[in-house]
């Protein structure tokens, strides 16, 4: 894949390294000239000095042939304009970093494919650390109104030996995937839950958390 990365900070550089290891072709757009030169010396990737909010810079970066764009600059304003221009230039997949969770809906209204809030993601990791085994926050999105969590099915929970259909989950809570003894189980209406299953739930926060507690038996 040909991927344009807006912002050459730690996130952008790390993403570029990961993409290179998987034989993708990342291009970094970095506004700071000194940082751009550093990246060009460190990475086996094209680095362009300029702003991702500049149409000509994006064209120089090859936006018209890009498969995807990741806007991970430190300023939401730059990410927003980069995403807007990327969509207008026809880039198939556009994802962005959201530095202020209050701006998440703005990016979603723009039609980006994924708006990832670093604040929400960090909070989810801290939640995983403090709640201990049983339930882990994986990702928050939609300005904090929705999230993805992983929960273990424990002995004595109401979910054991019952199917997804029998649980009658809330409309805005979905079982995304089940892992059983290292094997992925695609969730269907007649899929039964077993003790030890790891279940990934996604949906509205107010619906996801009660369902997660149901699996935990608490």
> What CATH number is associated with residue 207?
3.30.70.1450
Domain boundary among 53, 84, 117: 117
Residue 123 lies in a domain: no
In this predicted structure, what is the pLDDT of residue 17? Answer: 95
pTM to 2 decimals? 0.65
pLDDT digits (tens, 9 = 90+) for 35-57: 999 999 999 999 999 999 999 99
pLDDT digits (tens, 9 = 90+) for 183-200: 988 899 999 999 999 998
CA dihedral 149, 154, 157, 162 (to 10 degrees): 80
- Same structural domain for residues 23 and 109? yes
The structural domain count of the chain equals 2
Tokens, residue 72: 């991970």
Are the CB atoms for 64 and 91 separated by under 8 Å?
no
Radius of gyration of the chain, Cα coordinates, nearest whole angstrom? 20
In the sheet that 183-185 helps form, which strands lie side by side, from edge to edge? 135-141, 146-152, 198-204, 173-180, 183-185
């Amino acid at each position: 894949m040909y991927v344009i990365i807006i912002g050459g900070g730690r996130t952008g550089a790390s993403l570029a390294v990961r993409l290179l290891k998987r034989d993708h072709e990342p291009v970094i757009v970095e506004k700071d000239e000194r940082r751009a030169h550093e990246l060009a010396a460190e990475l086996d990737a094209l680095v362009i000095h300029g702003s991702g909010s500049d149409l000509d810079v994006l064209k120089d970066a090859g936006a018209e042939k890009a498969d995807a764009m990741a806007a991970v600059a430190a300023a939401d304003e730059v990410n927003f304009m980069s995403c807007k221009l990327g969509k207008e230039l026809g880039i198939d997949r556009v994802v962005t970093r959201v530095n202020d969770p209050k701006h998440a809906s703005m990016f979603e209204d723009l039609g980006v494919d994924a708006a990832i809030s670093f604040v929400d993601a960090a909070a989810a990791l801290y939640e995983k650390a403090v709640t201990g085994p049983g339930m882990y926050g994986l990702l928050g999105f939609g300005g904090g109104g929705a999230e993805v969590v992983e929960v273990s099915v424990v002995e004595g929970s109401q979910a054991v030996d019952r199917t997804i259909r029998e649980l009658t989950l809330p409309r805005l809570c979905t079982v995304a995937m089940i892992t059983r003894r290292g094997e992925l189980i695609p969730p269907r209406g007649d899929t039964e839950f077993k003790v030890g299953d790891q279940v990934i739930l996604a949906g509205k926060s107010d619906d996801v958390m009660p369902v997660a507690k149901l699996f935990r038996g608490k």
